[in-house]
Amino acid sequence: MSIALAVVTDAEAKTNRSRLARIGRDSGIVFLGNILDKLFGFAFTVGIAKLYGLRVFGLFLLGLTICQLGSLIFNLGFGNGLIRYVALYKKETPKLKGIIWTAGVLSVSLGVLLGLGLFLAAQPLVERFFANKARLVVVLQWLALTVPLSALSGIWVRTLVGLKHFKAQTYVRSVIEPGTKVGMALLLFLAGFKLEGLILAYVISTVAATVAAYYYYTATLRSRLKGVKPIFQFREFINYCWPLVLRNFISKATRRADVLLLGMFRNPLEITLYMFTLRMATLNTLIADAFEKAYSPHVPRLHAEGRLDELRHAFQTITKWTMLLSIPIFALLIVFPGVVIPVLGEQFMPAATALSVVAAAVCFSYAVGPSETALIMAGRPKVSLVIRIIGGLVTLGLNIWLVPQFGLIGAAWGFTGSVFVSNILAASIAYFDMNLHPVQRGYLKVLAAGALAIGVALALHPFLPANKYLALLALGLGYLVAYGGMLWLLGLDEEDKELARQSQLRLKALAHRQPVTSTPDMDVSRQ
């Protein structure tokens, strides 16, 4: 009996190691894609904007924003639903084909209706609300043609994400689409185009992304789905997705209540400072987003098969890894904003206290783990909707109460209150429903190392050089050395060491353009 149990335990441990290795690898791919996406976005927003001129670029962005608002339904609602059901049905080919076609019919149909409606409504919309921007009609009408294509490519890309093929998503969304957009905008500018060049660059990049998505999709699934009769699931899919659509609209609507109230009761300077605060406090989004996206496709099947111990172990590990990489940035933003902000501009110093408050809220949201994502992927979208409604009401209430009197810091506390309430609710429900929580020995070691390193940095702070750049460099290096030393003294888990080793191997492989071979214990073959 004991031998049999040992075998099972060893098999489970090996499965967990394989899954965590897969999540670690996939999160690295998503993280790289996020970085590339940000770089291309910066190049387009700053470089291309300077070439075409801020007025022309601003007109294009206005049209793009209007167009993207109409795309929220299939971008934010159907996407998560498709990822969940593809992950759930990946071994049941008729249902897999059925859910892909179900999502495709719904998403593309909405895309066609939205695109056609925007094309026809462009003229009266501009005349009614943007009378002094007649050229906006051309922008809206051309960009409306891309809405159905975006819906179609989204279906193919999210299907691959549900199957845990993250490289395709990175190539399409983070390399081909933005790279084509920047490259074509530059070529068309050199050819003498102005606003029309921006429009054509965007249309061409959308077509290129759609073609690339179709290529990766067919390369992965054509032979498997060919000749299979699909089992459609319209009712089930819609019942799952409608709370997500409503949830995301509520989230988008309430997220900017603080900015609107600052504009009504305070002054534009405080709006600028608050937006700076939010941008700085969410610097670690690249890290958390990568781990969360890599984790989410694993949730549906583990939950459906009742493998809650494995689900919890993966949850705990990605939360630990997120905090492991994020704590140094959070420590500087929360405890030492007065050292960080001057490097970016002395004019932002009035935001120091607000930055500490907002960064602490974001840090807390990462520390409790991706509870809401786990609930959504486990088939609880209505719970997520309720959480967002409560969080939205808290946001509105706190901002109405605090912003008129306290301005910037009032908006910061309104944001913080909403984040704490939403995450406590999500974490509590995930714990009672699936026994998900982040607490384990390795996680506590990471938190302890971060706290002890802050003590070292506080001791170092009075001796920092007067030069603001050298001060930030000295404080950052001092904290990293202390943090790394504390982690070494406390001891990392074996899975953390293996992740670091695999990351080192992959960096060497990229440098030498050689393939990486995993060790037997870290086999990441598809399951």
Whether the CB-CB separation of 101 and 119 falls below 8 Å is answered with: no
Among 150-154, 210-214, 247-251, 319-323, the range scoring the smallest mean pLDDT is 247-251
Residue 46: the pLDDT is: 61
Cα–Cα distance measured from residue 18 to residue 298, given in angstroms and rounded to the nearest whole number: 12
Q: How many CB atoms lie within 10 A of CB 351?
A: 24
| Long-range CB contacts for residues 436-440, cutoff 8 Å, separation at least 24 | 436/311, 436/312, 436/315, 436/369, 436/371, 436/374, 437/312, 437/315, 437/316, 437/369, 438/315, 438/316, 438/319, 438/320, 438/367, 438/368, 438/369, 439/316, 440/316, 440/320
Residue 499: the pLDDT is: 63
Residue 454: the pLDDT is: 94
pLDDT above 90 covers a percentage of the chain that reads 27
Average pLDDT over residues 116-131: 82
Average pLDDT over residues 403-419: 91
CA distances, 398 to each of 254, 256, 258, 363, 411 (Å): 12, 13, 9, 20, 8
Average pLDDT over residues 273-295: 81
Q: Is 34 a residue whose pLDDT tops 70?
A: no
Residue 204: the pLDDT is: 94
Residue 513: the pLDDT is: 45
Residue 471: the pLDDT is: 93
Average pLDDT over residues 114-125: 87
Residue 10: the pLDDT is: 57
Q: Is 182 a residue whose pLDDT tops 80?
A: yes
Residue 7: the pLDDT is: 41
Question: Residue 342 corresponds to which tokens in the numbers above?
Answer: 């001057």
Q: Is 328 a residue whose pLDDT tops 70?
A: yes
Cα–Cα distance measured from residue 150 to residue 206, given in angstroms and rounded to the nearest whole number: 7
Cα–Cα distance measured from residue 362 to residue 365, given in angstroms and rounded to the nearest whole number: 5
- The torsion angles phi and psi of 147, rounded to 5 degrees, stand at -60, -50
Among 8-22, 120-134, 445-459, the range scoring the smallest mean pLDDT is 8-22
Q: Is 526 a residue whose pLDDT tops 50?
A: no
Residue 514: the pLDDT is: 47
Average pLDDT over residues 247-265: 73
Condensed to tens digits (0 to 9), the pLDDT of residues 346-398 reads 888 998 999 999 999 999 999 999 999 899 888 888 898 899 889 889 988 99
Q: Is 510 a residue whose pLDDT tops 50?
A: no
Among 164-173, 195-204, 245-254, the range scoring the smallest mean pLDDT is 245-254
Residue 417: the pLDDT is: 92
Condensed to tens digits (0 to 9), the pLDDT of residues 57-114 reads 777 777 777 777 666 655 556 777 888 888 888 888 898 899 889 888 888 888 898 8
pLDDT above 70 covers a percentage of the chain that reads 82
Residue 387: the pLDDT is: 92
Helix (H, G, I), strand (E, B) or coil at 526: coil
pLDDT band at 512 (very low <50, low <70, confident <90, very high): low
Average pLDDT over residues 429-433: 92
- The torsion angles phi and psi of 355, rounded to 5 degrees, stand at -65, -45
Q: Is 372 exposed, middle or buried (0-12, 13-18, 19+ CB in 10 A)?
A: buried
Residue 26: the pLDDT is: 62
**Considering the entire predicted model, what is its pTM?**
0.71
Residue 455: the pLDDT is: 94
pLDDT band at 36 (very low <50, low <70, confident <90, very high): confident
Residue 251: the pLDDT is: 75
